[in-house]
């Protein structure tokens, strides 16, 4: 299984076996983090892993997930830093699944006696992880997600590459499965909006969730051998949309060397 396949099978795990992981898995998680190209280069991030195989009840909060390990994500506080953190955190969760490890993003919990800052970086989110008590995977149709017709408008007949990319974005998890994003596809462009939200003054998890969704677009494009650029188009950002606010556009291109292939 690779990360792209994990998008369609991953579920949040809330019950774990309180047993240690192979040290090679823990080392692999740290090495994978170092290999992630951030959504916004220049924003410093850091992770920390806390072992809890002895179940020391390290969590504080109302939604605690008892797990043998917790991964803390820290980030320098800058414009769109929470979006960048979500992008990194979801890729870590997808990677964990490829090595048989379950995970759960704990949005409202933090660790006792773990610093809230590391140098110039602040705590953003906690990921519980380990071997699941039950199944690691679920079928794509079991995911609690809105249907494509409620999320996406196609202005043209989409290519196969485009529909696969959008489907990967549709399966991105979000707070309470709200799925605040909406898509308008025009040719090779995916214009991305936030529904009932304001990215100028985002709610606590809006930015983070969009980073999670953008990571699915990035993983899908990498799997499908596509070139994707995320840009903000002035001709759209200056327009007003009822109940939606423009965020970014993804420009999806098929490389010249495979342009002859059936799309």
Angstrom distance (rounded) from CA 198 to CA 221: 27
- pTM, to two decimals: 0.92
Rounded-to-10 torsion of CA 179, 130, 41, 115: 100
190-to-15, 92, 150, 187, 258 alpha-carbon distances in Å: 37, 25, 15, 8, 21
Is residue 174 within 8 A of residue 213, CB to CB? The reply is yes
Please report whether residue 178 resides in a domain: yes
pLDDT (0 to 100) of residue 150: 93
Are 89 and 165 within one domain? Answer: no
Whether the pLDDT of residue 262 is over 60: the answer is no
98 falls in which pLDDT band (50, 70, 90)? Answer: very high
Model confidence at 263: pLDDT above 50: no
Mean pLDDT computed over every residue of the chain: 90
Q: Phi and psi (nearest 5°) for 149?
A: -65, -20
HSE value, Cβ hemisphere, 13 Å, CA-based, for 137:
14
- C-beta contacts of 54-57 below 8 A and 24+ residues apart: 54/18, 55/18
Q: Where are the alpha helices (DSSP H) in the chain?
A: 3-9, 23-35, 81-98, 148-151, 160-170, 206-223, 234-237
Q: 155 and 73 in one domain?
A: no
State pLDDT tens for residues 9-62: 999 999 999 999 999 999 999 999 999 999 999 999 999 999 999 888 777 765
Tokens of 252: 């999806």
Shared domain check, 44 and 22 = yes
Q: Are residues 193 and 253 in the same domain?
A: yes
Q: Are residues 154 and 231 in the same domain?
A: yes
| Count of domains observed in the chain | 2
Sign for the pseudo-dihedral over CA of 137, 150, 209, 185? positive
Q: Would you say 114 and 71 are in contact if contact means Cβ atoms under 8 Å apart?
A: no
CATH number of the domain within which 217 lies: 3.40.109.10
Do 152 and 216 lie in a common domain? Answer: yes
Domain that residue 160 falls in: 144-258
Q: Which two tokens stand for residue 116?
A: 């809230």
Sort 259 into a burial class: Cβ within 10 Å, 0-12 / 13-18 / 19+: exposed
């Amino acid at each position: 299984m690779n990360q792209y396949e994990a998008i369609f099978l991953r579920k949040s795990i809330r019950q774990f076996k309180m047993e240690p992981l192979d040290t090679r898995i823990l080392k692999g998680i740290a090495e994978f983090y170092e290999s992630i190209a951030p959504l916004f280069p220049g924003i410093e991030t850091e992770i920390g892993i806390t072992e809890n195989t002895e179940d020391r009840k390290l969590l504080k909060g109302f939604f605690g997930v008892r797990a043998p390990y917790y991964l803390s994500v820290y980030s320098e506080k800058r414009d769109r830093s929470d979006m960048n953190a979500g992008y990194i955190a979801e890729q870590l969760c997808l990677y964990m699944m490829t090595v048989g490890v379950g995970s759960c993003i704990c949005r409202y919990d933090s660790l006792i006696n773990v610093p809230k800052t590391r140098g110039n970086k602040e705590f953003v989110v906690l990921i519980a992880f380990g071997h699941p008590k039950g199944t690691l995977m679920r079928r794509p149709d079991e995911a609690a997600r809105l249907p494509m017709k409620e999320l996406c408008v196609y202005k043209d007949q989409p290519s196969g590459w485009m529909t696969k990319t959008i489907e990967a974005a549709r399966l991105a998890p979000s707070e309470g499965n709200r799925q605040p994003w909406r898509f308008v596809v025009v040719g090779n462009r995916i214009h991305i909006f936030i529904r009932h939200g304001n990215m100028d003054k985002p709610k606590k998890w809006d930015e983070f969730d969009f980073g999670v969704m953008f990571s699915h677009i990035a993983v899908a494009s990498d799997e499908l051998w596509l070139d994707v650029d995320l840009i903000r188009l002035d001709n759209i950002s200056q327009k007003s949309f009822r109940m939606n606010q423009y965020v970014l556009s993804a420009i999806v291109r098929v490389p010249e060397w495979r342009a002859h292939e059936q799309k």
